[in-house]
């Protein structure tokens, strides 16, 4: 449960720390929270991108850098309502990771569901750990 | 909300202070001040006849979210399930939270709980809470004697 408490305190972080270049589009950019797991088959990444649909997200892997980007437009006004209280901001998402494992680029899968992006990055066949049979002799 | 300008001879610092204070109290009127643990985060849009609340809860099953309204208090309760780790898998990073959440939100007016609507799309929960009929503001015409 300690994880939960910790994550609650982590606010939606604005990206920018590692981004050296400026973007042409103005507006806020947020850094999505991610979970990354690994097994012998490959890496699986989950990213929280609330407000982004499947057509808004782009995932690229170039020179061992995996980039996740999503364009989210702040909602147009809700009728004639005024925003009376706000706890979260709405904007684009950006985050990039260096992937050191050799990845089979043709078999990468990415899927959006309920604001969560899931990327499966299968390892190249030769990078998978192999059990070496020991022969008696 | 903030008005820019008002420079020149008519600028009055006292008046400006009062205006800022008004805007500020306006912002929080009727709502709870932010508390330490607040998940999921909400944005509140207020209109004449209803309140719209949007909340970022990506990756939950709508069936795991329980909403209830009593008078002018909205209660959000639910669970964000943990991502199960498969055989031989290990975590590299874990930043997305999981677990149970519970929070109550004070609404600016009484709500007709039978007309409350909620939908979940792209990880955003959107709740429309119509103002109770008895609670609606009535215009009172002033008669001359």
CB pair distance less than 8 Å for A5 and B37 = yes
| pLDDT attached to residue A137 | 77
Q: What is the pLDDT of residues B54-101, one digit of tens each?
A: 999 999 999 999 999 998 999 999 999 888 888 888 999 999 988 899
Stronger pLDDT, B125 or A132, i.e. the higher one: B125
Domain A2-76+87-126 bears CATH identifier 2.40.50.320: no
Fold observed for domain B13-86+96-134? Immunoglobulin-like (2.60.40)
**Inter-chain CB proximity A39 and B91 less than 8 Å:** no
The structural domains of chain B, with segments of one domain joined by +, span: 13-86+96-134
Closest approach of chain B CAs to the CA of A2, in angstroms?
Answer: 10
Q: Which pLDDT does position B55 carry in this prediction? A: 94
* Residues of chain A below pLDDT 70: 1-11, 16-22, 76-77
Report the gap between the CA of B102 and the closest CA in chain A (Å). 12
Rounded Cα gap, residues A8 and A6, in angstroms: 5
Nearest Cα of chain B lies from the Cα of A137 at a distance, in angstroms, of 31
Q: Is A55 on the interface with B (CB under 8 A)?
A: no
Candidates A37, A38, A114; nearest CB to B123:
A114
Give this complex's ipTM: 0.77
* Interchain contact, A4 vs B99, CB within 8 Å: yes
């Amino acid at each position: 449960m300690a994880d939960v408490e910790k994550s609650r305190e982590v606010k939606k972080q604005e990206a920018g720390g590692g981004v050296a270049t400026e973007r042409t589009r103005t507006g806020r950019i947020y850094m999505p929270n991610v979970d990354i797991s690994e097994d012998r088959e490959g890496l699986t990444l989950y990213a929280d991108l609330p407000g982004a649909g499947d057509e808004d997200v782009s995932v690229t892997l170039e020179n061992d850098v995996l980039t996740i980007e999503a364009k989210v437009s702040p909602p147009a006004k809700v009728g004639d309502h005024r925003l009376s209280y706000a706890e979260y901001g709405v904007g684009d998402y950006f985050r990039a990771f260096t992937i050191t494992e050799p990845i089979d680029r043709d078999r990468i899968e990415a899927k959006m569901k309920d604001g969560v992006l899931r990327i499966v990055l299968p390892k190249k066949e030769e990078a998978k750990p192999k059990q070496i049979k020991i022969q008696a002799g | 909300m903030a008005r820019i300008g008002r420079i020149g001879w008519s600028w009055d610092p006292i008046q400006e202070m009062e205006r800022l204070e008004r805007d500020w109290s306006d912002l929080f009127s009727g709502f709870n001040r932010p508390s330490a643990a607040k998940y999921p985060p909400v944005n509140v849009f207020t209109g004449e006849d209803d309140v719209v609340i949007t909340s970022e809860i990506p990756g939950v099953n709508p069936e795991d979210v329980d909403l209830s309204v009593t008078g002018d208090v909205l209660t959000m309760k639910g669970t964000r399930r943990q991502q199960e780790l498969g055989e031989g898998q290990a975590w590299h990073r874990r930043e997305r939270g999981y677990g149970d959440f519970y929070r109550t939100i004070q609404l600016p007016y009484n709500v007709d709980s039978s007309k409350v609507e909620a939908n979940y799309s792209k990880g955003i929960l959107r709740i429309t809470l119509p103002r109770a009929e008895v609670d609606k503001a009535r215009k009172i015409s002033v008669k001359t004697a």
